[in-house]
Structure 1
């Protein structure tokens, strides 16, 4: 987010009870450039001069100690374990086809490390269906090896999805040079591959989960193919020792030439056997996928370690696909799915007018299907959405758990129902763990519309809006969980009725439904009668024991039509407030551009927020991050201000905030 456009002031009294630490004063005078996602060439650089905003660098010379942007780019959220609940419908399966998603979130160069001041962003929310995310990108004029930036990794990890960096050796037609392939697979005097070790070190330092290797530069020979196999073997060995993964793209063959097979066969089998899995090029057919799956099993591997590529860059959910060749409905799945560029759901919308609600409508259509309800797939839909074939997963397994249904972008920023910034923004690292079944509704009547809404929120940028006649009671599934129940466990819902009248009940299930697609065996617990505006209802789970398997709400209209929004949900045994951050300091300053850093917070901190305290005592919200560093750009003195004062707070899993740490910057 660009903090210079934050405009809304918070009342000075909102911080009245906060005990301020002694303010540190900045003494740094070094330049403070904006941090961007990292990218490299393997070793040698192109001839000529890089374009505006592009920095040419070689990975071979990279060191963590010399990486001045590492603190802004290193992910902080560990990869969460996932479980698979009883599927939402009778066709979705667990243990068969998986989904890999190759996404370009931004340009190779000048891709901000910590979000930006626009809501026009691929703020993906359907993590429950994918098993691997590839940070796609790279170009001959910028760089070929891309490390994913921290917000994407943090959001994916919250949902249990590993993220791979991308190694793209482009076709000659797109500027590829065979020397870059040779650079990647070069050996040292001991016969090892130094770039393999560098790649593993980068992933470990940046906190992501491995690499996608895509060698498409033609002109190679058998010797180069042999070196590539040796490189991949060492990369996989080193990666596995650090808990990282390697995916191979079906392009280079064992004889060093580039020839896309569209199958697993003798031309690429050695690479597949070395890697964790392989993306099968788009040239596959029904018969080659059958033979590929059979060959994988003969090699002692799973057929679902083959991603059958589906190119959706140009037409998205309008594309015609031979689904029965990959995920048939009447027999076992043949292979896994590899979606190439599903950010079509954003990119196909008119540039300059891509509202968040329009993007999410297109994204729901892509991942859930025409019915927009994973519990009721439309059997006549020619687009077989992932929710039809693949069972959703969840990471909600421990207390405390809370969500403010923040998608990671918005038109404004809200705190406790009040707008505290009217600037559009995106930062996926601030995204919540989101409902895995967007949106499963159980009703005998007319199904209401359910969507993330950006016109109002309790906290962050979005809330869940339910609208419609509600001519019969409707149950909205929210979260599949494995949360332990104790005598003190309570659930809090923050909600608001905007139109009509509605009775709200908390739906809690302590067991799984008996069959796929069935409604969880909910117990319904009433909420207090509502008033005007946002209200937080606390429900004690009296009489329930064991483990919470599902959470939802049941809505019954008393007057229609109804517009009801859900702003927050929390499940806890007790409230906890994080400790105040320590070591806040300004590490570099250049005019109004500042780099801030602080000591990494202990467990229990979700993210940090930063405010500026103005001369009249009011506070201005500047942004938030999961990292222990933040960049501020273009600050200017206020009227009569000699020193700028900043406050940093740690925010816990229940969205409780610490007392502030402070630092000052003299003008």
Structure 2
């Protein structure tokens, strides 16, 4: 990898070199209880003292039982199975190129474990095109081994995407020291690699899916190359036994030197054979990728186990790339695609245009293309968006299913249409399973704009807004599904009309489209309600049988312009009882107004997340936060008026967003 690509990883200065990171992501000296994403050195630590807010840790010394932040960092959402529906267009393919993303969600040190009090965040939502997410980062001055925090893993798993932690051994020019490479591959008296076992133990305890190994510290020799190869083999063997995976970065060669090949060849083949797949450095050529794909197949491996690196950190969709060398339109794909730093969609926005709406508009442009509709790609668009080449996937396969279109960040928090917190926030673990095709709009007339919107919501922080002057019926595709129909199956839509007048129908298809790019064979069922404000309409699927393959809404404007907002969708057979309440809510740590909470999880498997509220002296409730974990940190609290103690209540929230009875705790100031 060229040093110019390391703009985020200069030694000891990762946080300073992330000017786009929200200020609240920086560690606070006063908030000693604030948990952060974990990071380590392999064994030995740098000389001197760490910078402000940085904690130097040795992975060799880590034990799950001694990890004080494990409860805050451990994912609770298992990796979900997914399927590939009929592609939305005729150019997207299934079973060929895959998409990997290397994303830096924040600085190595000071990356909050459970979100933070800002909506300015890279809230990735286009999971349908991803096959692997790498939690990118690391620096010689902070730590080299990064474990992804729980919200990211929970959101990815809900959409069927595995998440890898990152092992980064930096170039010497950026503070890399060869001793850290030697530390990583050290052997015990039995000839085993203890840090391979430790990495697998971390991934298992934290609930993520394996490791991305990037050894870029030069100066090694053949002996070190042999040790690294042995380490990778043992890491993969141990990882596979725990359902984890290993991706190798094309950097170190078998002779121990660092020499980026940009291809699969004799100098890195042994590492590729020892890992699950390999990220091919950016210096690839068309002929080199073609030869690499053929070489992989001669080894009995898929050519799509090679990720061809595409650096989008600086220019995003303006990146000039030879797309036909990776994902040609007129013949089978050559390799998979490795996107380096797609969080450009947030980072490139000026400070005064970085609202959640601004971000999602840019992110949709990146993943979908200039047309902003994956069912009709723009052939003149020089950016080959993932939706143009790769078929989307879905995890909506079982009942009950519900979504309130929560993107994992917002300007406020809403509960049944009412604001219960005015504070901006982000927490990706609260993200719903979101529509994969954003946005497919089918109409013979004027196309309205469709977007996630943050000015109002039914629950969480966002809703789907349809705005424009449609002069013909408009169908918005929402979900590709595999939902079994049974007696009593109903769909619930929660929506409101803010401007104009709209007839609303549920669109349901019980079969696949006749071919790629075709519309689902929808049936339209009335879902109108003449009331004002938020309303929930229940639509029985009477007379339908088999499996629901697609769900959408059809809107017919009878007076315009129109602003229509969808706040929730649920598919169920019967009303699921509210989940059981958690127990043993307690304050596990306190420092001034910073509190750590812990509890015993609710019984059963129907808990989606937990919400924490503060009970105020006037009898009202204030939302403090929510999480999928069984512990939560709330900072900056203070007495309300003359109160001598604060009361808090916790509820379990089920898949249909019903809440348990509360459990309470009191904290004396």
TM-score normalized by the length of structure 2: 0.95
Q: Which residue number in structure 2 is paired with residue 585 of structure 1?
A: 586
Counterpart in 2 of 1:526? 526
Identify the residue that residue 556 of structure 1 maps to in structure 2.
Answer: 556
Partner of 2:161: 161
1:587-626 correspondence to structure 2 within 5 Å: 587-601=588-602, 602-626=604-628
Matches within 5 A, 1:356-371: 356-371=356-371
Which runs of structure 1 show a deviation greater than 3 angstroms over 4 or more consecutive aligned residues? Answer: none
Structure 1 residue 522, shift from structure 2 partner: 0.5
Please name the residue that 2:453 is paired with.
Answer: 453
Distance 1:267 1:79 in 2: 34
- The residue matched to 2:310 in structure 1 has which SS? strand
Q: Is it true that 1:385 corresponds to 2:385 in the alignment?
A: yes
Q: Displacement, 1:653?
A: 0.5
1:261-276 counterparts in 2 under 5 A? Answer: 261-276=261-276
Structure 1 CA distance, aligned partners of 2:65 and 2:515?
54
Listed one character per residue, the Cα deviations across residues 201-252 of structure 1 (whole Å, up to 9, x for unaligned) are 0000000000000000000000000000000000000000000000000000
2:103 and 2:343 in contact (8 A); partners too: yes
**Structure 1 CA distance for aligned equivalents of residues 634 and 561 of structure 2:** 45
| Rounded Cα–Cα distance in structure 2 between residues aligned with 1:530 and 1:101 | 45
Instruction: State the partner residue of 2:76.
Output: 76
- TM-superposed CA distance for 1:299, in Å, is 0.2
How far is 1:529 from its partner? 3.2
Supply the distance in 1 between the matched residues of 2:508 and 2:301 (Cα, whole angstroms).
Answer: 40
Question: In structure 2, what is the equivalent of residue 8 of structure 1?
Answer: none
Is contact 2:529-2:537 (8 Å) kept? no
For the residues of structure 1 that align with 2:646 and 2:84, how far apart are their CA atoms?
A: 50
Deviations 1:122-152 (A, max 9, x none): 0011000000000000000000000000000
- Give the match's secondary structure for 1:662: strand
1:658 aligns with 2:660: yes
Moved more, 463-472 or 197-206: 463-472
| Partners of 1:419 and 1:529 in 2: CA distance | 23
In structure 2, the partner of 1:65 is 65
Task: Write the distance in 2 (CA, Å) between the matches of 1:316 and 1:290.
Answer: 25
Give the drift of 1:642. Answer: 2.0
Instruction: Please give the alpha-carbon distance, in whole angstroms, between the structure 1 residues aligned to 2:32 and 2:285.
Output: 52
Deviation at 1:600, TM superposition (A): 2.4
Deviation at 1:573, TM superposition (A): 1.1
Shift of residue 90, structure 1, vs aligned partner: 0.5
- Output the CA distance in 2 between the equivalents of 1:351 and 1:69: 32
Contact 2:369–2:378, Cα closer than 8 Å, also in 1:
yes
- The residue number in structure 2 matching 1:307 is 307
Comparing 89-98 and 570-579, the one that deviates more? 570-579
**Which residues in structure 2 correspond to 1:32-181 (within 5 Å)?**
33-181=33-181
Spell out the pairing of 1:289-328 with structure 2 (5 A cutoff).
Answer: 289-328=289-328
Taking the aligned partners of 1:633 and 1:377, their CA distance within structure 2 comes to 46
> How many Å separate the matches in 1 of 2:168 and 2:566?
43
SS of the residue corresponding to residue 539 of structure 1 reads strand
**What secondary structure is seen at the aligned counterpart in 1 of 2:624?**
strand
Partner SS, residue 627 of structure 1: coil
**Cα separation, 1, equivalents of 2:538 and 2:289:** 53
Q: 1:238 matched to which residue of 2?
A: 238
Q: 1:637 aligns with which of 621, 639, 650?
A: 639
1:416 is matched with which residue?
Answer: 416
Cα deviation, 1:536-575, whole Å, max 9, x if unaligned, reads 1100001101110000001111012211110000001122
Secondary structure of the structure 1 residue equivalent to 2:65: coil
Matched residue SS, 2:584: coil
Give the secondary structure class of the aligned counterpart of 1:558.
strand
In structure 1, the residue matched to 2:201 is 201
Counterpart contact for 1:41–1:144, Cα < 8 Å: yes
Tell me by how many angstroms 1:530 deviates. Answer: 2.6
Where 2:459 maps in the other structure, the secondary structure is coil
The residue that corresponds to 2:6 in the other structure is none
Residues 362, 647 of structure 1: alpha-carbon distance in 2 compared, 3 angstrom cutoff: same
Superposed CA offset, 1:401-422 (max 9, x none): 0000000001111111111111
1:597-644 deviation per Cα after TM superposition (whole angstroms, max 9, x unaligned): 011233100000001112232211111000000112222222232221
1:54-86 Cα offsets, whole Å, 9 max, x none, are 000100010001100000000000000000000
Q: Is the 8 A contact 1:79 1:161 kept in 2?
A: yes
TM-score norm. by structure 1 comes to 0.95
Distance 1:666 1:367 in 2: 49
Secondary structure, aligned partner of 2:481 = strand
Q: Is the contact made by 1:32 and 1:589 (CA closer than 8 Å) also made in structure 2?
A: no
Aligned to 1:12: none
Matches of 1:358 and 1:490 in 2, distance apart?
A: 35
Structure 2 residue ranges without an equivalent (≥5): 1-21, 25-30
**Deviation (angstroms), 1:592:** 1.9
Partner of 1:251: 251
Bigger relative CO (Cα 8 Å, ≥ 6 apart): 1
CA contact (8 A) 1:32 1:594 kept: no
Would the aligned equivalents of 2:166 and 2:213 in 1 still touch at CA under 8 Å?
Answer: yes
TM superposition shift of 1:352 = 5.2
SS in 1 for 2:320: coil
Give the structure 2 partner of residue 288 of structure 1.
288
**Partners of 1:32 and 1:595 within 8 A in 2:** no
Closer/same/farther in 2, CA of residues 381 and 296 from structure 1, 3 Å limit: same
What is the deviation of 1:351? Answer: 2.8
Aligned CA-pair RMSD: 1.1
Please list, as runs of the form range in 1=range in 2, the aligned pairs for 1:350-499 lying within 5 A after superposition: 350-351=350-351, 353-499=353-499
Does structure 1 retain, via aligned residues, the 8 Å contact 2:503–2:528? no
